Amino acid sequence: MQASDRFNINSQLEHLQAKYVGTGHADLNRFEWAVNIQRDSYASYVGHYPILAYFAIAENESIGRERYTFMQKMLLPCGLPPEREDD
Amino acid sequence: MASLDPEISRTQEERKKMEQQLASLTSVTFDTDLYGGNNRFEGYEKSIPVNDDEENFDAMDSEVARKLASYTAPKSILKDMPRGGDEDEAMGFKKPQRIIDREDDYRRRRLNRVISPERHDAFANGDKTPDVSVRTYADVMREEALKREKEDTLRAIAKKKKEEEETKEADKEREPTAAQPAQKRRNRWDQSQEETGAKKAKTASDWDLPDSTPGIGRWDATPTPGRVGEATPSLSRRNRWDETPTPGRLADSDATPAAGGATPGATPAGMTWDATPKLAGLATPTPKRQRSRWDETPATMGSATPMAGATPAAAYTPGVTPVGGVELATPTPGAINLRGGLTPEHYNLLRWEKDIEERNRPLTDEELDAMFPQEGYKILEPPASYVPIRTPARKLLATPTPLGTPLYAIPEENRGQQFDVPKELPGGLPFMKPEDYQYFGALLNEEDEEELSPEEQKERKIMKLLLKVKNGTPPQRKTALRQLTDKAREFGAGPLFNRILPLLMQPTLEDQERHLLVKVIDRVLYKLDELVRPYVHKILVVIEPLLIDEDYYARVEGREIISNLSKAAGLATMIAAMRPDIDNIDEYVRNTTARAFSVVASALGIPALLPFLKAVCQSKKSWQARHTGIKIVQQIAILIGCAVLPHLRSLVEIIEHGLNDENQKVRTITALSLAALAEAAAPYGIESFDSVLKPLWKGIRSHRGKVLAAFLKAIGFIIPLMDAIYASYYTKEVMIILIREFQSPDEEMKKIVLKVVKQCVSTEGVEADYIRNDILPEFFRNFWVRRMALDRRNYRQLVDTTVEIANKVGVADIVGRIVEDLKDESEPYRRMVMETIEKVVANLGASDIDARLEELLIDGILYAFQEQTSDDANVMLNGFGAVVNSLGQRVKPYLPQICGTIKWRLNNKSAKVRQQAADLISRIAVVMKQCQEEQLMGHLGVVLYEYLGEEYPEVLGSILGALKAIVNVIGMTKMTPPIKDLLPRLTPILKNRHEKVQENCIDLVGRIADRGAEFVPAREWMRICFELLEMLKAHKKGIRRATVNTFGYIAKAIGPQDVLATLLNNLKVQERQNRVCTTVAIAIVAETCSPFTVLPALMNEYRVPELNVQNGVLKSLSFLFEYIGEMGKDYIYAVTPLLEDALMDRDLVHRQTAASAVKHMALGVAGLGCEDALIHLLNYVWPNIFETSPHVINAVMEAIEGMRVALGAALVLNYCLQGLFHPARKVREVYWKIYNSLYIGAQDALVAAYPVLDDEEHNTYSRPELMMFV
C-alpha cells in the first residue's frame, strides 16, 4: 500500500512537472528554485505591459529593448548551475 | 423361424441404433464445435465465390460491419443470427463471461489461426544471410503461395468430385442407407459442424464395417485445444480407415485399412498436408523438408510451446493435439499421465468415459444367461464381418489399464499431475482452473528450482507471474504485472510471448482474463521495443480478433495494442509481417488483417503506408490482395474519420481502378470503400471523387445485385458532398435506377435504396416538385407496405427516409398519403405510421394540414391509440402528444371526444390501458389549457382524484403525473378538487415504496408546497414532513432531490422552526445517506428562510455530545455556506468559534468537515473584507496539512486553496516558505505540494511575493528590477 501509494504520487508529480514547468518537489535546490523564480518574474514583466513601460521609463530604454533584454535574461537568469556537492 | 426373423432384425435394428448412440458417447468424442468434425472445410469459405456467402460480411452486412467500430448494442438485437443451441446443450451449464459463448461462427474463426513461429528480423541481423532454420519473409510468402495453390487444386478436385457425385446420384438412390443424406450433405462446405459429428458416428459405428471406430477417423484432424480442425474440402465421407485411397487426397494418410489397428504409428508418417504434428517415435523427417513445407501447422503449434525452435519432431508438448498424441503414443498405462498436453476438456472426457465404460462394460455370457429367460431366445452367431474393436486408441482412451478389469486401478505413484483435486499450489500461487493445467501444469511439479537450467527457471518464473496475473487477487496481479514489465527485457521477447500468446488462444478464455493478458502484452511491448520484431505476426494473430469483437472496449484495446506494436516494430516490419496475410485464402484472416492495417496507418501516418497500399491495390497476382488493399482503405476511412481529408485524393486514386475490376467482389468493396471515404470526408472533398463519378454512374446501369447495391451506396454518400446543381443532376440520373430497385425483393437492397433516397432527397439541389412527382408515387407504393414494419431495421430506415422526404415536400403530402393507414389492421404498421407522423409533425408543425386532413388525422390517431395492444405504448403516446400539441387550438372541437375516450379508458379493466389514458392526460394538458377547456380539465382532475385508490403502482404513478400536469396548468386556486382535499389524500401515498409513485407524488406535493401551501393547514404540512424523512432513503437521486427541495418549500410556508426541529432530530439516525440528505435539507431550509433563522438552533445542536450530530451540524454548515455564498459574510464571525473548536477536535471527520466548511466560507466571502476571520481560521486549518487520510487531506488542501482565493497567494506563500527547505523530507514534500497548487493557481501573483534571495559568488539570485523606482 505504502509503496504503491508513493509510486502513485510520484507519477502524478512527474506529470505535474511535465505540465507546469515551474512546479517544485522536495529535492529542489536553491539554484533550481531561484531559476524558476527568475524566469517567472521575467515572464510576468514581459506579460504586463504597464510594468514593462514602468521599467522602460526607469531605465530610460525603449519598451521593445526592455522586453528583449528580459527575454534574453530568461536563458540563464542565475548564471551557470553550481557544481553539485553530493555527486 | 420366419416369424422370428423379422423380430430379430427389428431388435438388431434397435440395437444398432442404441449402439450408435453409445458410440457417440464412448468414442473419442471431442467438442465438435471446437475441434471440428471430420469434415474439415466446413464453415471455411473458399476464396473464389462458389456461393455468395462470403460477401455477407462485406457488402450485405456492410452496415453492421462498417459500424462495428461504433456500435455497442448487443449483437443479438442488431443481427438476428440464431446461435447454435447445440453448444449450450453440450455445456450443460454456462459460464457467463466466456468470450467464445458470445461469439458467432465468423468470429470464432479466430481459433482457426495458428500462432506462427517467429520470423527473421532483418533489422537486427543486418546483412547477414538468415539462418536456414529461421523463417524469413520469403519463406512465409512461399508458404502462402503454396497454400493458395493447394486451395485451387482442391477446389478443382472438389468440383470434379461433385460432378461425379451427381452422376452417381441416380444409382445411389435405391440404397436406403441412413448415411445417404449425410453423405450428400457432407460435400457442402457451409454445413454445420455438429451435424457431421453426429452423422459420422452413425456411419462409423456400423458393425459391418471392420475396424471402424468413430474416433479414429481423426488422424488428420489436428484438434489442438483452440482450433477447429483445419478444413479441407476433401470429400472424405466417412472414416477414412476403411476406404481405399480416394483420388482427392494428395497423399492418403489413411489409405491402408489394416494400418490403424496394427501399427498405429506408421500410417501418418507420410505427413500429408493436413497431418498431425510429428510425434517422437515416428520416423524422424529431415528437418529441411519439414521446414520447407509440410509442417506449417504442426511446427507452429510446436513453437508456441516452450520447446520453440526444436525440431517439430519434438512437438510433443502441451498445446499439441491431444488426440493425435494419444493415438500414436504407445499404449502404456502411464502414457496419459506422462503427457503434459492433456487438455482439460480431454481430461474431463477421459474421466467421464471411464465412468461410462465401467457401467457399460460388456456383459459376460453367464450374466446374460442369468438375465434372459431360457425360452424364446436364440443365441445368434455374430456376423462374419464382425470384428471386435481392438483399436488401441479406443482402449487406451477407455481406461488406462490395458488388460485389467475396467474397475478401480491403484493409481501410479508420483504422477506428473493430479487432476481430481486441485493441488495446493506451491509458493502462494493462485488457484488454477482445470483449463489452466495445460499451460501452467508444469508449475505443479515440485522440482527443485536449483536443478533447473537458467532457461527453465526463467520459463517457470514467467509462468508463475502470468498465472498470478490471470487468476490472482488484485494485489498479486498488480505486483506480478509490474514484475513482468520491469523484467521484460531480461526475460526476453521469445519466452514471454511464447507463454502469453497461447493463453490468449485458449478457448475458454473469459473477458476479464483476456483484458489482463492484453494488458500484459501492452506493458511488455513498451519495454521490449524493437525486440518484438520477430514476434509481430504472432501477436497480430491473437490481437486481430479483438478488432472485430462486439465489445467496444475490446476493440479499443486491440487498436491500442496494434498501434503500440507498430510504433515499436516500425512500418517495415509491420508490412513484412502482414503482407502474407493480405491474400490469405481465409476471408476471416484478410478481414482482420485489413482492420489491423488501418490501425497501423493511423498510428504511423497514412502517407507512410500509401506506396504500399498502392502496390497492393494493383496486385496482378490475386484478386484477394486487391480486395484486401481496398478494404484497408475502407477501414482507414472508418477508423480515422475526417482525418482522411488531406490524403483523400491519393486514397481515391489508389482504389479507383477497382470499380472496373474483373472480380465482382473487388468492385463491390471498392464501391463500399468509396462510400466510407465520402462519409468520412463529408461535407468536404467532392473534388477528390471527380475521377470516380463516371465509373460509378456508368456502373449502376450495368450492374445488378450486390455490386449495384454497393455502387448505390457509394453514390448515396457522394451526392451530399456535391454542389446543389450537380447534386440535382446526378440525383436525377441515379433516381431512375433507384426507382427501378424500389421493387427489389432483396432486403439489403431495400435498405440501401432507402438510405440513398434519404441522402439524395436531403441534398440542397433536389427540388420538392421533382420529389413529389417522380419519387413519391413509386416510393409509397413499394415501401409503405405492412411487411416493412416487421423488420426493425427496415422500419427505422423507412421512417427516417420518409421524414427526410417530408422535410422537402412538406407535411400535408406525406401525412395525407399515410393518414388512412392509421386505421390499418396491422398494429406494427400503424405504429410505423404513427411514428412517422409524430416526427414529421414535430419537425414541421401542423400549419399545412387542412381541415379535412385534420379530421382524418385526429380520427386515425384516436383509432390507433384505442386499438393498441402491444406493450410499447410510447410511440402512440408520443404521436398523440406531438399531433395534439402542434395542432394547438385547432384541437378544441375534438377535445370532448378525446376526453371521453380518456375517461372511458381510465375505467378500463386492463391496467395498461388505464396507465396510457393517464399518461395521455399529462401530454395534452397544456393544449387543453390553450383551448380554454379549464372546466374539462377540472372535471378530469376530479376523475383522477377518484382513481387515487389505484392499486397498480405503475398506473398510480401515471395518475399522479396527470394530476401534476393539470395542477401545473390551471393553478392552485382553480384546481378541482381543491388543494385542501387533494393534499391529505396524497400524504398516505407518500408511504408507497414504488419509485414511480414516489417520484410523481413528491413532485406533486412539492409543487403544492411551492405554490399553494396556504391552502393546507400547517399541521398537515408537518405530517408530510415526517413522511418526507422516509423518502430521503430513496434510491433514486431525483426523489431525494425533490424531497430536499420540498423541505425548503414547506419551511418557507410554515416557518423554519418546526421543520428544523424535525430535521435536527433526524441527524441522530444511524443511516449515513439519511443524515447526509438531512444536512442538505437543513442547508436548504437555511437558504430559503435566511440563515439567521436556522443558525442558532443549528449551532446549539453542536453541543450535543454525539459524533454523528456534531458532524451533521458541520456538514450542514458546509452546505449552508456553499448555498448562501456571499451572504456568508454576515455569519462568518458567528460560526468562527464553532469552527475553531471543530478544527481542533480529535476526531478526523470533525476536522475534515470543518475544513470543507471553511473552504466554502472562504470562497463565498472572497473580497468582502472578512480577511481577519479567515486568517484566524487558516491558522487552525494549517496544522492539519500533515494528515494522511485521503479525505481529510483533500479537504484541508481545498480549504487552503479557498484561502488562496480569499486572502491572496502571497499570504499563503508566506505560510509555505517555512517548510519548503525543511530538513525533514516528509515535511518538504507536503510543503512543496502546497506550493505547487499555489503556483498552478496563481503563478503570476507570486512574482511579487517571492522571498529576496542573496547573490552567491557565481550566481545572481536577486531581482534588481523590482527595486526600480521612478
Query: What would the DSSP string read from start to end of B1002-1035?
Result: HHHHHHHHHH-GGGS-HHHHHHHHHHHHHHTT-S
Tell me, yes or no, if B1270 comes closer than 8 A to chain A by beta carbon: yes
Q: Do B1259 and A31 touch (CB under 8 A)?
A: yes
Nearest CA-CA distance, residue A4 and chain B, Å: 10
pLDDT for B529: 84
Pick A41's closest partner by Cβ from B1229, B1258, B1263: B1263
In order, the DSSP letters of B674-695 are: HHHHHHHHTTS-GGGGHHHHHH
For chain B, give the percent of residues with pLDDT over 90: 47
Q: Do B1265 and A44 touch (CB under 8 A)?
A: no
Cβ contacts of A47 on chain B, cutoff 8 Å:
1244
Q: How many CA atoms lie within 13 A of B771 on its CB side?
A: 24
Helices (H) and strands (E) in chain B, counts: 63, 0
| pLDDT-wise least confident of A19-28, B332-341, B1137-1146 | B332-341
Answer yes or no: is A86 within a domain: no
Cβ contacts of A25 on chain B, cutoff 8 Å:
1229, 1232
Task: Give dist(CA B653, CA B671) in Å, integer.
Answer: 13
pLDDT band at B128 (very low <50, low <70, confident <90, very high): low
- Asked if pLDDT for residue B870 goes beyond 90, the answer is no
Task: Give dist(CA B183, CA B203) in Å, integer.
Answer: 10
Q: What is the mean pLDDT of residues B194-207?
A: 41
The most confident of the ranges B64-78, B125-139, B1083-1097 is B1083-1097
pLDDT for B345: 65
pLDDT for A2: 38
| pLDDT-wise least confident of B93-102, B629-638, B971-980 | B93-102
Looking at the DSSP assignment, which residues form a beta bridge with residue B119? B135
- Asked if pLDDT for residue A14 goes beyond 80, the answer is no
pLDDT for B419: 53
Q: Return all residues near B1168 (Cβ < 8 A) that are at least 6 apart.
A: B1126, B1129
Q: What is the mean pLDDT of residues B510-539?
A: 90
3-state secondary structure at position B382: coil
Q: What is the mean pLDDT of residues B560-584?
A: 92
Q: What is the mean pLDDT of residues B53-75?
A: 41
φ/ψ of residue B492, rounded to 5 = 90, 150
Enter the DSSP assignment of B280.
B
- Asked if pLDDT for residue B915 goes beyond 70, the answer is yes
B721-735: pLDDT as tens digits: 999 889 989 998 899
Run of H or E including B593: helix B587-604
Q: Which three cell numbers stand for residue B74?
A: 448487443
Answer yes or no: is A68 within a domain: yes
pLDDT for B94: 43
Q: Which domain covers residue A71, as residue numbers?
A: 28-76
| pLDDT-wise least confident of B284-293, B505-514, B991-1000 | B284-293
Q: Which three cell numbers stand for residue B407?
A: 474397475
In order, the DSSP letters of B433-461 are: -GGGHHHHGGGGS---GGGS-HHHHHHHH
Task: Give dist(CA B536, CA B520) in Å, integer.
Answer: 15
Q: Return all residues near B980 (Cβ < 8 A) that are at least 6 apart.
A: B1015, B1016, B1017
Q: Which residue has the cell 457431421?
A: B196
Q: B386 vs B12, B202, B210, B360, CA distance in Å?
A: 14, 16, 6, 20
pLDDT band at B100 (very low <50, low <70, confident <90, very high): confident
- Asked if pLDDT for residue B376 goes beyond 70, the answer is yes
φ/ψ of residue B311, rounded to 5 = -65, 150
pLDDT for B416: 52
Q: Which three cell numbers stand for residue B1039?
A: 426523489
Q: How many CA atoms lie within 13 A of B918 on its CB side?
A: 32
Q: Is B440 left (phi over 0), alpha (psi -120 to 50) or beta?
A: alpha
Helices (H) and strands (E) in chain A, counts: 4, 0
Answer yes or no: is A66 within a domain: yes
Looking at every residue in chain B, the average pLDDT score rounds to 79
pLDDT for B562: 95
pLDDT for B1034: 87
Q: B30 vs B37, B190, B236, B920, B1115, CA distance in Å?
A: 9, 20, 19, 59, 65
Residue of B nearest to A3 (CA): B479
Q: Do B1244 and A16 touch (CB under 8 A)?
A: no
Answer yes or no: is A70 within a domain: yes
Q: Do A41 and B1265 touch (CB under 8 A)?
A: yes
Q: Which amino acid is at B18?
A: M
pLDDT for B939: 92
Q: Which amino acid is at B221?
A: A
Pick B1269's closest partner by Cβ from A4, A38, A58: A58
Residues 255-284 of B with CB under 8 A from A: none
pLDDT for B806: 95
Which residue in B1232, B1240, B1262, B1269 has the most chain A C-beta atoms within 10 A of its own C-beta, making it the best mutation to test that interface?
B1232
Q: Return all residues near B1224 (Cβ < 8 A) that are at least 6 apart.
A: none
3-state secondary structure at position B319: coil
B166-176: pLDDT as tens digits: 888 766 665 55
Q: What is the mean pLDDT of residues B503-519?
A: 88
Burial class for B1233, CB neighbours closer than 10 Å (0-12, 13-18, 19+): buried
Tell me, yes or no, if B1228 comes closer than 8 A to chain A by beta carbon: yes
pLDDT for B447: 62
Nearest CA-CA distance, residue A58 and chain B, Å: 5
Tell me, yes or no, if B57 comes closer than 8 A to chain A by beta carbon: no
Task: Give dist(CA B781, CA B725) in Å, integer.
Answer: 29
pLDDT band at B858 (very low <50, low <70, confident <90, very high): very high
Nearest CA-CA distance, residue A19 and chain B, Å: 10
Q: Return all residues near B453 (Cβ < 8 A) that are at least 6 apart.
A: none
- Asked if pLDDT for residue B1212 goes beyond 80, the answer is yes
For chain B, give the percent of residues with pLDDT over 70: 74
Q: Which amino acid is at A76?
A: L
Task: Give dist(CA B402, CA B394) in Å, integer.
Answer: 11
Q: Which amino acid is at B234?
A: S
Q: What is the mean pLDDT of residues B36-55?
A: 42
Q: Which three cell numbers stand for residue B895?
A: 377535445
Q: A25 vs B256, B1192, B1195, B1227, B1262, CA distance in Å?
A: 80, 22, 21, 11, 22
B206-232: pLDDT as tens digits: 444 344 333 333 344 333 443 433 444
Q: Which residue has the cell 455445456?
A: B91
pLDDT for B1027: 87
Pick B1236's closest partner by Cβ from A24, A34, A45: A24
Q: Which three cell numbers stand for residue B221?
A: 484432424
Q: What is the mean pLDDT of residues B993-1018?
A: 92
Cβ contacts of B1232 on chain A, cutoff 8 Å:
24-26, 28
Task: Give dist(CA B752, CA B914) in Å, integer.
Answer: 41
Looking at the DSSP assignment, which residues form a beta bridge with residue B282? B280
pLDDT for B364: 80
Q: Which three cell numbers stand for residue B816?
A: 395525407
- Asked if pLDDT for residue B654 goes beyond 80, the answer is yes
Cβ contacts of A23 on chain B, cutoff 8 Å:
1235-1236, 1239-1240
Task: Give dist(CA B561, CA B555) in Å, integer.
Answer: 10
Task: Give dist(CA B312, CA B733) in Å, integer.
Answer: 62
Is the preceding omega at residue B96 within 30 degrees of 0, hence cis?
Answer: no
pLDDT band at B337 (very low <50, low <70, confident <90, very high): very low
Task: Give dist(CA B480, CA B483) in Å, integer.
Answer: 5
Cβ contacts of B1223 on chain A, cutoff 8 Å:
none
Q: What is the mean pLDDT of residues B1183-1202?
A: 93
Residues 1250-1269 of B with CB under 8 A from A: 1250, 1253, 1256, 1258-1261, 1263, 1265-1266, 1268-1269
φ/ψ of residue A69, rounded to 5 = -65, -40
| pLDDT-wise least confident of B57-66, B496-505, B1090-1099 | B57-66
A23-72: pLDDT as tens digits: 998 989 999 999 999 999 999 999 999 999 999 999 999 999 999 999 99
pLDDT for B347: 62
Answer yes or no: is A40 within a domain: yes
Q: How many domains does chain A have?
A: 1
Q: Return all residues near B933 (Cβ < 8 A) that are at least 6 apart.
A: B892, B895
Q: What is the mean pLDDT of residues B237-263?
A: 41
- Asked if pLDDT for residue B398 goes beyond 80, the answer is no
pLDDT for B108: 82
pLDDT for B1099: 94
Answer yes or no: is A20 within a domain: no
pLDDT for B164: 86
3-state secondary structure at position B636: helix
- For residues A37, A39, A41, A47, the Cα torsion angle rounded to the nearest 10 degrees is -150
Q: Give the start-end residues of each E strand in B104-237.
A: none
Enter the DSSP assignment of B723.
-
N- to C-terminal Cα distance for chain B?
137
pLDDT band at B642 (very low <50, low <70, confident <90, very high): very high
- Asked if pLDDT for residue B87 goes beyond 80, the answer is no
Q: Which residue has the higher pLDDT, B1066 or B226?
A: B1066
Q: Do A28 and B1244 touch (CB under 8 A)?
A: no
In order, the DSSP letters of B1121-1185 are: HHHHGGGGGGTHHHHHHHHHHHHT-SSHHHHHHHHHHHHHHHHHHTTSS-HHHHHHHHHHHGGGG
Tell me, yes or no, if B1057 comes closer than 8 A to chain A by beta carbon: no
pLDDT for B218: 39
In order, the DSSP letters of B127-160 are: TSPPPTTSB-HHHHHHHHHHHHHHHHHHHHHHHH
pLDDT for B412: 58
A→B contacts (Cβ < 8 Å), by residue, are 4, 16, 20, 22-26, 28, 30-31, 33-34, 37-38, 40-41, 44-45, 47, 54-55, 57-59, 77-80, 82
Nearest CA-CA distance, residue A85 and chain B, Å: 15
> What is the number of residues in chain B?
1270
Q: Do A26 and B1229 touch (CB under 8 A)?
A: yes
Q: What is the pTM of this model?
A: 0.62
Enter the DSSP assignment of A25.
-
Answer yes or no: is A50 within a domain: yes
| pLDDT-wise least confident of B195-199, B536-540, B626-630, B1094-1098 | B195-199
**ipTM of the complex, rounded to two decimals:** 0.92
Q: Return all residues near B1220 (Cβ < 8 A) that are at least 6 apart.
A: A24, A33, B1228, B1231, B1232, B1235
pLDDT for B344: 60
Q: Do A20 and B1240 touch (CB under 8 A)?
A: yes
B934-983: pLDDT as tens digits: 899 999 999 999 999 999 999 999 999 999 999 999 999 989 899 999 99
Looking at the DSSP assignment, which residues form a beta bridge with residue B135? B119
Pick B1239's closest partner by Cβ from A23, A26, A38: A23
pLDDT band at B1095 (very low <50, low <70, confident <90, very high): very high
pLDDT for B227: 41
- Provide the b/e sequence for B352-380 (b: ≥16 CB within 10 Å): ebbeebeeeeeeeeeeeeeeeeeeeeeee
Answer yes or no: is A54 within a domain: yes
Q: What is the mean pLDDT of residues B733-752?
A: 91
Q: Which three cell numbers stand for residue B923?
A: 401530454
N- to C-terminal Cα distance for chain A?
32
